[in-house]
Chain A
Amino acid sequence: MAMPVLATKLFIPRLRSRAVPRPRLVERLREGLHSGRKLTLISAPAGFGKTTLLSEWIADARRRDPQLRVAWLSLDEGDNDPSRFLTYLVGALQRADPALGSESLTLSPASIEPALTGLINDVAQSPAEIILVLDDFQLIEEKTIRDALVFFLDHLPSNLHLAVASRSDPLLPVARLRAGGELTELRAADLRFTPDEAAAFLSQMAGLELSPEDVAALESRTEGWIAGLQLAALSMRDRSDVSGFIRGFTGSNRFVIDYLAEEVLQRQPEQVREFLLRTAILDRLSGSLCEAVTGQAGGSDVLESLERDNLFLVPLDDGRQWYRYHHLFADVLRARLLRDRPDLVPTLHRRASEWHERNDLPEEAVTHALAAADFARAARVIEGSVPAVRKSRQDATLLRWLTLLPEEVIDRRPVLGVYRAWSSLVSGDVEAIEPRLRVAERALAATTDDGAPGHDSADSEELRTLPVTIAVYRAAAAQARGKVVGMKEHAERALALTQPDDHLGRGAAAGFLGLASWTTGDLESGLRAFGEVRSSLRLAGNLADVLATTIVLADMLVPLGRLREAQRAYEQALQLAAEQGDPPPQSTADLHVGISELLRERGELPAAAEHLAASEALGEQASSSEKRHRRFVAMARIRQTEGDFDAALDLLGTAEGLYRRGFFPEVRPIAAIRARIWIEQGRLAEALAWVTGQGLSVNEDLTYLREFGHITLARLLIAQQRADPRGSIQAATGLLDRLLVAAEAGGRTGSANEILILQALAQEAQGRIPSALPPLHRALSLAEPEGYLRLFADEGAPMTALLDAAADAGILPDYVRRLGRALRQTDVDRASLPGIPEALSERESHVLRLLATELSGPQIASELYVSLNTLRTHTRHIFAKLGVNSRPAAVTRAAELGLIQRRV
């Protein structure tokens, strides 16, 4: 069971019949919506009729456009949990259009943006025009949510209009929107009742017959504050001496609401007054809940009569089930309760907590238990709702609860104690984890004299598997500290402790075991461990994670040189995903990217590109945030193969922007791929700067995590040898020899293939073809059964020379012929690329960038400190190289070629 979604929060308040129509304000709101402004902001203190005005506007807008859809979300303090906020946001939007926010909407609490992006795309595709109302926005203080809403506003689809009502100005970019004409704004000065509206309210709505002087006096005393006028009207109802009341009220200095609430309450029968005070602690009221809290029968009847009497009771649904007090009125009642019956407050909260617990509303049960300072009860309810909270990923809620409980209460509950340790893991307080786990472990082991458990945790699945959880968190802590050995030991212990049917526990333990093996380059063990993870997840019915684990397995199969097995794994996973139908499970898009990379290696570039297109079409919901960059890396590799290096580098830039450090070791860093492209482009100085910055050297100890970087270094050294044959290749060959030993020791045939090829190229760079043939022969023999192609074919002219020599020597003739064909085809393809025949010099590139500006010729010359004549020479060369004969044509052509940024 996940945490319940309260329908009352999504209820669109109906327009009350007794509300004064406010055409002047509705007109302004309508105009704002009509002119396509992004945001409507109603910012004013409590009691100025914000919600009522929104209801009136919504009713009016729907009358004019029956197709218009409305999503309404009444916020509360609990919505500061990003997961909860997003759940309700999606829930509200689904009321407007059920197709919005697909099921695959999952999020990590740290990043709400990817989920929002999916939602924004959904909304943009919806045929409906939607108004999204966020009421009581002042309650949102969580920065991640505000940031997410700023992002939302910046990417707001044109068919969505956002309306925010708040008691204080929200931390949204209000000034920017105002300056850009994107904001419709109503403030207290706009919302106050005008004298005419006050008169209309008092006579027509409240049915009072007052003299113009009395109306003016009331309007002036309340300053048009609507809640004040409403309370005044209530105080005057059925009163014989209305003028006396008005004299008393207007002559008093007491604060309006204090004076009037007292008046209104005094005029209620004792029983009603007691009811109001006792139920004031409730944020939402139902008949049954009120009965439980007051101990009196007839709760629904009282609520209905309060609504009839207009006693600030707001219906929260159409069925007269749930109500709330107007916030202002509730505040007054609560202050009165604190003053008159402070002794009663804990009891009322405890009763409310009990009722909510009975009715499966754990959040409210906890809130009221905490308000009653009944920590034992709060802790019990929290512990019971841990599985549901975690399943709903409302981690922030759980963490907040834990901070509100006294330490000693948690100390006696090992289940909560372990989550307290987990909370330090989440917040990055690595040092606190172990002491907290020890406390939980001691509590778990404690027994009373008669052998009963010596702790307070109830017997539950969570409690029974707690030793496993503790060991898993220890493994996680070890990982956070970068202690691979410790991670492995704790993971092994966790695995040993699990019951055969504890699939999630087994999966988690095996996962850390696999990570340890992966990190150290023992990929065979890593495969075994993640194979176990995958079967455990499958047994636990967690399909999305089964698919994600397939990618992990393939990531290890590739360096092992088992491409065919990796491809089969991807194909099976895609089949499994397809069987799920719509919406496609998360990770489906990532599977397409994985299979695309394998197809590219096999030389099937069109098929590889098709899978990337399929991945893109599936959208971000079908991709996990830690994998999202990989599509762009895969596309960059295709562009690199095609010889379009600039496009490849651009794509890598995009990939870097999307990159999120996940759980898994980064064995193929984006920056290293970029350095390899630089090497291919001949930009050796830049590649060298990267290598130096990484501290990569030929003599250091080799680890698997740095293998890709070291191979990149070897490539750089060989390229330097070609550029300047006077140097020595010794450093490269020594490094490659050591890399080969390490790769073979780890059984990493895939890595070994590339290293062997580089050994051959290192010899070729010195013109020693015969010495190059033995490593090339080995690489060819290992690579042929797995269908490697681009590994050889991307190496260009030196590889052509080597393959010719291999053909002469009669080495694997079929495979060598096939590779040779692929190489020649690559040359043909690259020649037809719309490139420039001759590269621009650095000086010419600079001139070109200036040509794209508004600067005149003489200005450019002075900018460059050259004579006009010199500038003309540069310009002539540029025109010749670009095949154009005018400055505008040069700029256009340069932009097409990606040499300069196209100006917007």
Chain B
Amino acid sequence: MTEVDWYEIRLRGQLDGSWSDWFGGFTLTSESDGTTTLTGPVIDQAALHGLLRRVGNLGVTLISVNILRS
């Protein structure tokens, strides 16, 4: 098995956990500064881009995308 990378995606505005299924099972965390962090495993770049497209489709403002090395 290849190592799966975890990503942390920060969005402006708050989205509650009910969107988790929509974002492919990512964990949604509301931050105190009014942003939301999505955290979860991404199997490859195509999956990451698919996820970012979902973010874009909702019109949410994307603040950052970070890779979390395990």
Contact = CB atoms under 8 A, between A and B. Distances in A.
A46 B22 contact: no
Contacts of B60: 255
Query: Which of A168, A258, A331, A332 has the most chain B CB atoms closer than 10 A to its own CB?
Result: A258
B14 interface: yes
B21 to A, nearest CB: 4
A328 B58 contact: yes
Given A255-B36, A334-B22, A167 B57 contact: yes
A336 B14 CA distance: 16
Nearest to A335: B22
A140 to B, nearest CB: 13
Contact of B21 (A254, A327, A328, A338): A338
B16 A258 contact: yes
Contact of B14 (A254, A335, A342): A254
Given A46-B57, A328-B57, A339 B14 contact: no
A227 interface: yes
Given A46-B57, A253-B13, A258 B19 contact: yes
Given A47-B59, A225-B59, A253 B18 contact: no
Contact of B59 (A45, A252, A338, A342): A45
Interface residues of B, number: 20
A335 B59 contact: no
Contacts of A342: 21
B57 A335 contact: no
B58 A46 contact: yes
Interface in A329-365: 331-332, 334-336, 338-339, 342
A225 B60 CA distance: 11
A327 B57 CA distance: 8
Contacts of A336: 18
A328 B55 CA distance: 11
A256 interface: yes
Contacts of A167: 56-57
B38 interface: no
Query: Which of A47, A255, A338 has the most chain B CB atoms closer than 10 A to its own CB?
Result: A255
A339 B13 contact: no
Interface of A is mostly: helix
Nearest to B52: A168
Contacts of A334: 22
B42 interface: no
A258 B30 CA distance: 13
Nearest to A225: B59
A contact residues, range: 20 to 34
Interface in B6-53: 11-16, 18-22, 30, 34, 36
A64 to B, nearest CB: 33
A227 B14 CA distance: 17
Contacts of A48: 59
A861 to B, nearest CB: 58
A227 B57 CA distance: 12
A339 B20 CA distance: 8
B44 to A, nearest CB: 16
A25 interface: no
Contact of A256 (B13, B16, B20, B30): B13
A258 B57 contact: no
Interface in A8-53: 45-48
Nearest to A258: B15
Given A334-B22, A335-B22, A254 B59 contact: no
Interface in A289-316: none
A544 interface: no
A253 B34 contact: yes
Contacts of A254: 13-16
A339 B21 contact: yes
A255 B57 contact: no
B34 A331 contact: no
Contacts of A258: 13-16, 19
A255 B21 contact: no
Contacts of B21: 335, 338-339, 342
Contacts of A227: 59
A856 B56 CA distance: 59
9 contacts: A45-B56, A168-B56, A227-B59, A252-B14, A253-B13, A255-B14, A255-B58, A256-B13, A342-B21
Interface of B: 11-16, 18-22, 30, 34, 36, 54, 56-60
Given A252-B14, A255-B15, A258-B16, 6 more contacts: A46-B58, A167-B56, A258-B19, A328-B59, A331-B54, A339-B18
Would you list the 10 A-B pairs with minimal beta carbon distance, nearest first? A255-B13, A335-B22, A338-B21, A253-B34, A339-B18, A45-B59, A253-B14, A254-B14, A255-B15, A46-B59
